[in-house]
Amino acid sequence: MDVRRADERYPGGDEAAGIASRHAFSFGPHYDPDNLRFGALLACNEERLAPGAGFDEHPHSHTEIVTWVVEGELTHRDSAGHETVVRAGDVQRLSAAGGVRHVERNDAAVPLTFVQMWLAPQEPGGEPAYEIVRGIADSTPYAVPEAGAMLHVRRLAAGERTAVPDGAFVYVHVVRGEVRLGDAELGAGDAARVTNAEGLDAVAVTRAEVLLWEMAAP
């Protein structure tokens, strides 16, 4: 198990434009050949957008982009004609496939925080696709078959225990609260990369929200 702390993330964004980013993996100018991916996961970005701030239209290709809103509202528009407001508890997925362009903005009057995760598809190309699941229920897995991955959302009360999925690669990201994972204690923004996970539990030290990626071997 490889634990990565929130303060070890690469800083990014544009503070003057109201954008603060923290990257868990090699990203943009922060190139690290030893931190390019874990399983199918290529990026896990924590984004904070001030009211009115956002990312102008930009391209993606050959990437499965999954977004989890922590607080606020994310306005999404893409070149395939989708326009959606994503709120806390929703899971949004944009399959960039052969190529798509999109805009992400905070059009609300309150700050926006979201976690965006990029996964590598098992096969490149294809047609872009979009999906949103409103208010996903706790413990309901969300499958990304194109990447051989499954997202599990856990919202835990203090003292509550949950099983971590067994798998070749499991990525655990703490959204809020404190969680004990094996011998490690993780706080908000901390993550653990677990290889060949088996029989591992997560215990909430405080009320917590956790995202767990279960990924097959590439």
Q: Residue 196: what pLDDT? A: 95
Sort 33 into a burial class: Cβ within 10 Å, 0-12 / 13-18 / 19+.
exposed
Question: Sheet holding 2-4: strands in order across?
Answer: 2-4, 191-197, 167-176, 208-215, 149-156, 142-144
> Hunting for tokens 């539990």 — which residue is that?
201
Spell out where 39-148 has E strands.
41-49, 54-60, 64-71, 73-78, 83-87, 91-95, 100-105, 112-119, 129-133, 142-144
Tokens of 197: 């996970």
pTM for the predicted model, two decimal places: 0.94
Q: Give 10-residue mean pLDDT values along the chain (218 residues).
A: 95 92 89 92 96 89 94 92 92 88 93 96 88 91 95 96 95 98 95 96 97 90
Comparing C-alpha atoms, which of 195, 197, 201 is closest to residue 37? 195
Tokens of 181: 């994972």
Tokens of 64: 């499965």
